[in-house]
Amino acid sequence: MADRSPVPATKGAQTRRAILEAAIGRFGRDGYRSTSVADIARDAGVGGSVAYTYFADKEALFLAALDEDAAALIHEGLTAAFGEPGNSDWPETLLFTLVAAVQRRPLARRLLGGLEPGVTDRVLEIPALAELRKACAERLGTEQLAGTVRSDIDPTVVGNGLVIILLSLLMSIVQLGADVAGPYTGDVRAVFAAALDRRPSPGQPDLGPTA
């Protein structure tokens, strides 16, 4: 029987990973301006110039760290929302998972919180968002075939719009706090249900506002 055990990462890959993780932590805690590549190298346990072997400059390292942290955040959301094929409440699952997960993603939280104005406009260009848009569009298309989502919508367009709404909600929650946004959870669920024309299953409560 063939050995299917994972191939160990090369030393170079391990070093790059250590630098990237240190960058996520340091940038997330102190921000771009207050962080130096030397700080990150020290946190990663490597020499001061080693980071430049893997990243052209501080900005390149920052953007790579941002993409990595955001990708991990979105992966958590995708796993929770689409891990179960029959999860009809996946938009809500996706939102709630992202809200919880962002607390563990310091750099993504910092960006969504508006604390890095120099790159705020890059939020929509995060590579992992393309994967999220595709997943949403595919699920909507599948639900159209199953008759649980209205047939007159373009799943790609609505999937893209859904991602924008989720991102806007996530930014609002990060900036205002979950306690402020929490009371509107039921309203958000009602909007999702109305937009997609999904009907509650027998025995399930209507997706109206919560008390």
Q: Which residues contact 167 (CB under 8 A, 6 or more apart)?
A: 123, 124, 129
Q: Token match 């919180």: residue?
A: 113
- Runs of H (alpha helix) within the chain: 11-30, 37-44, 51-54, 58-82, 90-101, 106-112, 127-146, 155-176, 178-181, 185-196
Hey, CA dihedral for 159, 112, 88, 83, is it positive or negative?
positive
Q: Angle 49-52-57 (CA atoms, 0-180°, nearest 5)? A: 120
pLDDT, one tens digit per residue, over 73-110 is 999 999 999 987 778 889 888 988 998 999 899 999 99
Average pLDDT over residues 7-12: 75
Q: What whole-number percentage of the chain has pLDDT above 90? A: 54
Whether residue 18 has pLDDT greater than 60:
yes
pLDDT, one tens digit per residue, over 113-157 is 999 988 888 888 889 999 999 999 999 999 999 888 888 899 999
- Considering the chain, what is the average pLDDT of its residues? 85
Q: What whole-number percentage of the chain has pLDDT above 70? A: 88
Whether residue 29 has pLDDT greater than 70:
yes
8 Å CB contact between 82 and 54: no
Tell me whether residue 90 is exposed, middle or buried, using C-beta atoms within 10 angstroms of its C-beta: 0 to 12, 13 to 18, 19 or more.
buried
